[in-house]
Amino acid sequence: MIYEADLGAVFRLYGRALSRCWLPSLLLALAWGWMATLLDRRLGSSDDVFAWIAQVQLLTWSGYFWWLTCAVTAVSTYFYSAMVADIYAVATGGASPLLAGLYSALGRLPAALVASIVFIFVTTLGSMFFLVPGVYLWGMWQLWLVVLVVEKCGPLQSLSRSWQLMSGSWWRISTLVTVVSIISFLPILVYDALVGALHLSTGSSALHASPVITGIGVALLVLLLPMIPAALVAAYLDRQRAPVVRG
């Protein structure tokens, strides 16, 4: 099956790959939930908005926060790499046992971490001081993870190859990935808002949410997380066939 950079192709690939990449998606959702709990415990609860903001500012400048940020980056990079490997295997008809993506991502993790650091640092710096160049860099480099996992190249080579693949298609593919990102996170945001409203109306704390509410949130996250990697893989396959990037 040929996949192109459009919504229909992304959802077809996502639907086919979901049964293969649910495990890394589940592990990532659990890791995010655990790390969010660690932050909540450090912040505590306060009815004073200004006191809460002061706590957030203090936490942001702490070594604990940056240690946790590095951990989130490493864990996210690993499990997203695993999902990319599984989705690409489905798209190309390759065999993909349950643990294949996790095993493949483990070998690419050092290079992926270096590339993610470069990507995050440069695009964040560009966005802070020069918004348009930062957004443009993000778009040109957004396929780096797929390139790194599939073509097994180094971190800087994966960024360079992504730039080559994206040449001439920045707007089309960036729009696709942005739309898919909104679709994938909107249900989670709506669910969180409903749960927050429920806690507010009952006077309960989010830290003491029922297992059912927590379970539904995790299940929703597991279901939706593979959607963005599916979009990136579909975009990669689309651009790989383009004459401009051959040879």
pLDDT tens, residue order, the chain (247 aa): 677 789 999 999 999 999 999 999 999 999 988 888 887 777 766 555 566 667 777 777 778 888 888 899 999 999 999 999 999 999 998 766 778 899 999 999 999 999 999 999 898 887 777 778 888 999 999 999 999 999 999 999 999 999 999 999 999 999 999 999 999 999 999 988 888 787 677 665 554 556 777 888 889 999 999 999 999 999 999 998 876 544 3
Residue 148: Cβ within 10 Å count: 27
- Alpha carbon distance 247, 238 (integer Å): 16
pLDDT of residue 67: 87
Query: Cα separations (Å) of 247 from 28, 71, 241?
Result: 36, 38, 11
- The residue to which tokens 């860099």 are assigned: 137
Tokens of residue 204, six digits: 């309960």
- The residue to which tokens 């649910």 are assigned: 22
Residue 127: Cβ within 10 Å count: 16
105 in Cβ contact with 146 (< 8 Å): no
Tokens of residue 202, six digits: 């009952």
Domain boundaries, the chain: 7-241
Nearest to 54 by CA among 46, 207, 70, 200: 46
Vertex 175, ends 230 and 229: CA angle to 5°? 15
Residue 242: Cβ within 10 Å count: 12
- The residue to which tokens 């908005």 are assigned: 49
145 in Cβ contact with 112 (< 8 Å): yes
- The residue to which tokens 């963005």 are assigned: 228
CA atoms within 13 Å, Cβ hemisphere of 216: 11
- The residue to which tokens 């086919």 are assigned: 16
Query: Cα separations (Å) of 164 from 121, 141, 142?
Result: 20, 9, 11
